[in-house]
Amino acid sequence: MDNNWPLWEVFIRSKSGLHHKHVGSLHAVDAEMAIQNARDVYTRRSEGVSIWVVASSNITASNPENGEALFDPANDKVYRHPTFYNLPDELKHI
């Protein structure tokens, strides 16, 4: 029998106003214990003001092999960037 406790991914907001950021993972039997463990493992020096834990099994990730299909189409759409547009230098506040 597999006695490994489930794996959880831990996300920490380092201070309010910032996104939660992935910091690592840990094992815990449930979400509550995962939060407690995350506090001990990842915030011993005031690294955070908020913690998210997500069961790793609930995360769906894109496959690196599909990277080209997913992300390359953006490369030839330069018109999505402000620098694509030629405007005179004397134009201000734009």
Binding interface with other proteins (CB under 8 A):
3-5, 7, 24-27, 29-30, 33, 40-41, 44-45, 61, 63-65
Tokens for 26? 């840990």
* Amino acid at position 52, single letter: W
The residue (of 45 and 92) whose beta carbon lies closer to other proteins is: 45
Q: Residue 7 or residue 94: which is nearer to other proteins going by CB?
A: 7
Distance in angstroms (rounded) separating the CA atoms of residues 13 and 48: 5
- Annotate 3-65 with DSSP letters as a single string: -PPPEEEEEEESSTTS-EEEEEEEE-SSHHHHHHHHHHHH-TTS--SEEEEEEGGG-----GG
**Closest separation between CB of residue 30 and other proteins, Å?**
5
What is the closest distance, in whole angstroms, from the C-beta atom of residue 77 to other proteins in the complex?
23
Q: Taking the complex as a whole, how short is the minimal distance between the CB of residue 21 and other proteins, in angstroms? A: 11
**Closest CB to other proteins among residues 44, 81:** 44
